[in-house]
Amino acid sequence: MLISTRGRYALRVLVDLVEQCSSGNVSLKDISERQGISLKYMESIMNILSKSGMVVGSHGKKGGYKLSREPQEYRVGDILRLTEGSIAPIACVDCDASEKEECLRKSTCRTRPMWEKLNELIVGYLDHVTLADLARMNDGSYI
């Protein structure tokens, strides 16, 4: 599993919104400058987040974006699944992929139990961490 810049940047953008929530709507330009992400790439990320209902955007002089719910209600796993599609380490343990095309070696594969356990650990951890947790992590500590 390799998380792309889209997934990593989406997390950074959302944490930025958490940190700036007291200032109301936050402009893409301001987020772009703080995070060092190109405005064009930010627009594509915000489009995904907006369509999913994770953020709410408004136009005009005081326009910008804000979270649609409280930071503790956003799970990192959900954000990564939205931006990455799958966070499974291999295709045969991905629930969506396995329903479409089941692995022919599923019943005899000696390594599948290991991959399933790894997937459980990854999903369990990422679904345990929230945006609120990430916003509190300013000292480099881990959750």
pLDDT digits (tens, 9 = 90+) for 55-106: 999 888 888 999 999 999 999 999 999 999 988 888 888 865 544 567 778 7
* Cβ-proximal residues to 72 (8 Å cutoff; 6+ apart), any chain: 130, 131, 132, 133
pTM summary value: 0.87
Number of independent structural domains in the chain: 1
Mean pLDDT, rounded, of the chain: 89
Q: Which two tokens stand for residue 46?
A: 């915000």
* Cβ-proximal residues to 70 (8 Å cutoff; 6+ apart), any chain: 132
pLDDT digits (tens, 9 = 90+) for 37-57: 999 999 999 999 999 999 999
Which domain range does residue 98 map to? 1-143
Q: Which two tokens stand for residue 77?
A: 């796993």
- CATH number of the CATH domain containing 80: 1.10.10.10
